[in-house]
């Protein structure tokens, strides 16, 4: 076995422990619109998806356009909560210190959000210049576009890339891109939702460096 040519890391739930905050804020904001969802349903429907995809599903369910300023208010709530609570995912700093292969970030979040969350947790300097967003491509996860874009920009063969993801949409996107996936089940997503072809599921980020060595 050899290390991959490129390790593609999701951000939310893989690098920064933002998913519990996001799920709570989403649930509160959606309840105010009349759509009551618990955390598990928030995770099933929205975790790992781009903002436009989420907004389209919300409007489809409500049967009406969202208020013009709705998403701006949700983002304001996110940022306030994240500024108070956000931490790196447990074990990720130790894992990053031990990874020898090239790395990059590929996230459904926008570049401004990625700078904010990675900056809050002190992780931004590790990835500056190697951060890719679903806003850069035509289709977000579970389409393969973002991961293929990241591989192309990094000069890596998709077949020699490994994606680290914590959402079912993310592991589906990795498979669609022809990349192996490591599904992190130490957060909100049940392990069973991450299982599938070319995917190893794990729940301790400290195991990541050893898993990468076995993934290609």
Residues 71 and 123 in one domain: no
Q: How many domains does the chain have?
A: 2
Residues 149 and 93 in one domain: yes
Spatial contact of 216 and 4, defined as CB atoms under 8 Å apart: yes
User: Which burial class, exposed, middle or buried, applies to 67 when counting CB atoms under 10 A from its CB (0-12, 13-18, 19+)?
Assistant: exposed
Distance between CA atoms of residues 150 and 153, nearest Å: 5
Residues 95 and 75 in one domain: no
Residues 42 and 103 in one domain: no
Residues 65 and 113 in one domain: no
Q: What is the CATH number of the domain that holds 75?
A: 1.10.150.240
Q: Which range of residues forms the domain containing residue 182?
A: 6-17+86-214
Q: What is the CATH number of the domain that holds 103?
A: 3.40.50.1000
Residues 75 and 90 in one domain: no
User: What is the sign, positive or negative, of the torsion defined by CA atoms of 77, 82, 83, 85?
Assistant: positive
For residue 131, give the nearest of 118, 143, 120 by alpha carbon.
Answer: 118
DSSP helix/strand/coil, 169: helix
Residues 76 and 37 in one domain: yes
Residues 145 and 202 in one domain: yes
Residues 61 and 129 in one domain: no
Of the residues 66, 85, 104, the one at which a domain ends: 85
Per-residue pLDDT of the chain (216 residues; tens, 9 = 90+): 568 999 999 999 999 999 999 999 999 999 999 999 999 999 999 998 888 999 999 999 999 999 999 999 999 999 999 999 999 999 999 999 999 999 999 999 999 999 999 999 999 999 999 999 999 999 999 999 999 999 999 999 999 999 999 999 999 999 999 999 999 999 999 999 999 999 999 999 999 999 998 866
pLDDT of 175 reads 97
């Amino acid at each position: 076995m050899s290390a991959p040519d490129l390790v593609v890391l999701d951000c939310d739930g893989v690098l920064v422990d933002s998913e519990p905050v996001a799920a709570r804020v989403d649930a509160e904001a959606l309840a105010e619109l009349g759509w009551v969802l618990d955390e598990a349903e928030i995770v099933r429907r929205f975790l790992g998806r781009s903002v436009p995809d989420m907004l389209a599903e919300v409007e489809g369910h409500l049967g009406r356009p969202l208020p013009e300023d709705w998403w701006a208010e949700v983002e304001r709530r996110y940022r306030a909560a994240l500024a108070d609570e956000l931490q790196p995912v447990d074990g990720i700093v130790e894992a990053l210190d031990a990874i020898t292969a090239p790395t990059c970030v590929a996230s459904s979040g926008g570049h401004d959000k990625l700078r904010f969350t990675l900056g809050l947790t002190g992780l931004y300097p590790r990835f500056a210049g190697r951060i890719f967003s679903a806003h850069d491509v035509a289709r977000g996860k579970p389409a393969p576009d973002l991961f293929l874009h990241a591989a192309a920009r990094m000069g890596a063969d998709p077949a020699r890339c490994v994606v680290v993801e914590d959402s079912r949409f993310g592991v589906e996107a990795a498979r669609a891109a022809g990349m192996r996936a490591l599904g992190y089940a130490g957060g909100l997503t049940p392990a069973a939702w991450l299982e599938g072809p070319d995917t190893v599921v794990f729940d301790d980020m400290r195991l990541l460096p050893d898993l990468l060595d076995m993934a290609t």
